[in-house]
Amino acid sequence: MKKVALITGITGQDGAYLTELLLSKGYEVHGIKRRSSLFNTDRIDHLYQDPHETGVRLTLHYGDLSDSTNLIRIIQQVQPDEIYNLGAMSHVKVSFDTPEYTANADGIGTLRLLEAIRILGLEKKTKIYQASTSELYGLVQAVPQSETTPFYPRSPYAVAKMYAYWITVNYREAYGIYACNGILFNHESPLRGETFVTRKITRAVAKIAMGLQDKLYLGNLDAQRDWGHAKDYVEAMYLILQQDAPTDYVIATGVTTRVREFVRMAFAEVGIVVEFKGEGAQERGYVVSCNNADFQIEVGKEVVAVDEKYFRPTEVDLLIGDPTKSKTKLGWEPKYDLKGLVTEMVAADVVLFQKEKILLDSGYVIKNQFE
Ligand code: NDP
Ligand code: GDR
């Protein structure tokens, strides 16, 4: 029997990779997309199937995690075997500007889905995956962080996700729903949103190397993150819903790296060696050498600067996950290491901006001033 999955957040980074994975496994996939004034399905357009054809296995529904009647109706219509709740206002820094909206979508949104399962009497049929996060650990209590490490959230985003974490556990215990939290550490890819630090860096490296951008402004260069590849992490989401009994899992690589080091690695991909000088808000990154004939950049040029506007009111300094449980119980193992991830991301952005440069050189586009 063909399984049916419903994905909230299908237009996001993880939604796109998960859709690909589930379609490859023969699933019928339904996704919830928000109405926006511009097309927002870029990441899944290659998976689009004309609904007029027969045998269509990917269907999109308009909806929003803030609208419970809409969620109930979609779930009633789709009758999913599995729900993957990936929809969220997912930017930690932005959550300080939009805390109430974040609580509504990321916290209460999860409750709305769980209640929909209950209202529709689907407790025994529908399994649900909740996109929990390493941001729950926040202020460091112990490292590496595992399923038993206490939480200490440090942003409106993390506090909202903390509510979602516990309401998922509560509905599992109270109503016997197969409901699980995947506590995923940072995961990236060429599909990563442009304002998360890794993608901001790889885009800037490509543009600086091509003379399309002067400098990269960043916030806290000392933060340490356990970065993996989104492709590996959506495999874990799927596995979490295929077990005999529901429980929660940490998904991480177990390796942590500073933002500054990620910058160095990304520039190294285009043959540019960068060295940092100065401290705190005065820290700058300079070109030490460039051995790539395709990219002309002067030695000594300042290519990285700190801008305090990217600092967060409360920061998460150190994340390093302990994936022992997921390795032993799920048999999950990441295929990518950080070097492979950086290589893929920079290469993709170089291709992207080579196209933009051709247009720019021929006068068809102007430089984007709003990045
Ligand atoms: P993205 O920001 O790329 O995608 C978020 C998705 O949620 C988008 O499809 C977005 O739609 C949708 N969305 C936002 N608000 C709403 C809403 N009110 N109702 C319905 N949908 C909404 O995130 P990722 O793919 O990176 O992450 C997926 C999930 O995993 C998120 O919940 C995130 O918080 C969580 N997470 C991510 C980690 C990571 O490192 N990537 C680590 C741990 C957890 P639109 O395209 O219209 O904006
Ligand atoms: P994070 O990811 O907050 O960990 O949340 P992000 O890439 O935004 O920040 C990582 C670290 O880099 C520092 N940083 C900067 N961050 C951004 N965005 N822009 C900058 O210019 C910059 N300079 C330094 C940050 O301060 C931070 O320490 C991501 C999201 O995907 C969440 O949804 C998810 O839950 C967590 O990962 C796990």
Tens of pLDDT, residue by residue over 72-102, are 999 999 999 999 999 999 999 999 999 999 9
Strands 284-290 and 302-306: antiparallel
Residue identifier of the C-alpha nearest atom 21 of ligand 2? 218
Tens of pLDDT, residue by residue over 42-79, are 999 999 988 898 889 999 999 999 999 999 999 999 99
Residues 6+ apart with CB under 8 A from 12: 43, 86, 87, 90, 193
Q: Is 337 left (phi over 0), alpha (psi -120 to 50) or beta?
A: beta
Tens of pLDDT, residue by residue over 192-201, are 999 999 999 9
Tell me 82's DSSP state: E
Ligand 1 lining (C-beta closer than 6 Å): 8-9, 11-15, 32, 34, 36, 40, 64-66, 86-90, 105, 131, 133, 184, 186-187, 193
Q: What is the secondary structure of 17-39 as a DSSP string?
A: HHHHHHHHTT-EEEEEE---SS-
**Residue 135 CB–ligand 2 contact under 6 Å:** yes
**Residue 310 CB–ligand 2 contact under 6 Å:** yes
pLDDT band at 296 (very low <50, low <70, confident <90, very high): confident
> Which listed residue (84, 129, 157, 336) is catalytic?
157
Q: Domains (ranges, CATH) in the chain?
A: 4-184 (3.40.50.720), 197-224+258-317+337-361 (3.90.25.10)
pLDDT at 369: 46
For ligand 1, the distance from its centroid to the CA atom of residue 127, given in whole angstroms, is 19
What is the mean predicted confidence (pLDDT) over 330-346? Answer: 98
Q: Which ligand is closest to the CA of 15, given by its number? A: 1
Q: What is the secondary structure of 186-231 as a DSSP string?
A: PEE-TTS-TTSHHHHHHHHHHHHHTTS-S-EEES-TT-EE--EEHH
Q: What is the rounded distance in angstroms from the CA atom of residue 315 to the CA atom of residue 229?
A: 23
What is the mean predicted confidence (pLDDT) over 260-270? Answer: 98
For ligand 2, the distance from its centroid to the CA atom of residue 330, given in whole angstroms, is 27
What is the mean predicted confidence (pLDDT) over 195-214? Answer: 96
The residue with tokens 């799920």 is: 330
Cα 271–chain centre separation: 28
Q: Is residue 19 among the annotated active site residues?
A: no
For ligand 2, the distance from its centroid to the CA atom of residue 203, given in whole angstroms, is 15
Q: How far is CA 209 from CA 48, 74, 222, 259, 350, in A?
A: 34, 47, 24, 19, 9
Q: What is the rounded distance in angstroms from the CA atom of residue 81 to the CA atom of residue 241?
A: 10
Tens of pLDDT, residue by residue over 115-169, are 999 999 999 999 999 999 999 999 999 999 999 999 999 999 999 999 999 999 9
Looking at the DSSP assignment, which residues form a beta bridge with residue 180?
Answer: 129
Q: Is residue 133 among the annotated active site residues?
A: yes
pLDDT band at 295 (very low <50, low <70, confident <90, very high): confident
Helix (H) or strand (E) holding 83: strand 82-85
pLDDT at 130: 99
* Burial class, 358, CB count within 10 angstroms (exposed 0-12 / middle 13-18 / buried 19+): exposed
pLDDT at 49: 87
Report the chain's mean pLDDT, rounded to a whole number: 96
Torsion (CA) 138, 140, 141, 145 in degrees, nearest 10: 80
**Quick check: 370 pLDDT over 60?**
no
Q: What is the rounded distance in angstroms from the CA atom of residue 312 to the CA atom of residue 72?
A: 36
Residue 134 alpha carbon, nearest atom of ligand 1: 43
Residue identifier of the C-alpha nearest atom 5 of ligand 1? 12
**Quick check: 367 pLDDT over 80?**
no
Looking at the DSSP assignment, which residues form a beta bridge with residue 188?
Answer: 229
Q: Is residue 371 among the annotated active site residues?
A: no
The answer to whether 31 touches 65, Cβ cutoff 8 Å, is no
Helix, strand or coil for residue 68?
helix
Helix, strand or coil for residue 3?
coil
Is the ipTM beyond the 0.90 threshold?
Answer: yes
Looking at the DSSP assignment, which residues form a beta bridge with residue 277?
Answer: 284
**Quick check: 191 pLDDT over 80?**
yes
Angle at 41 between CA 83 and CA 53, to 5 degrees: 80
**Overall pTM > 0.95:** yes
Strands 28-33 and 82-85: unpaired
The answer to whether 105 touches 9, Cβ cutoff 8 Å, is no
What is the mean predicted confidence (pLDDT) over 111-115? Answer: 99
Q: What is the rounded distance in angstroms from the CA atom of residue 213 to the CA atom of residue 220?
A: 21
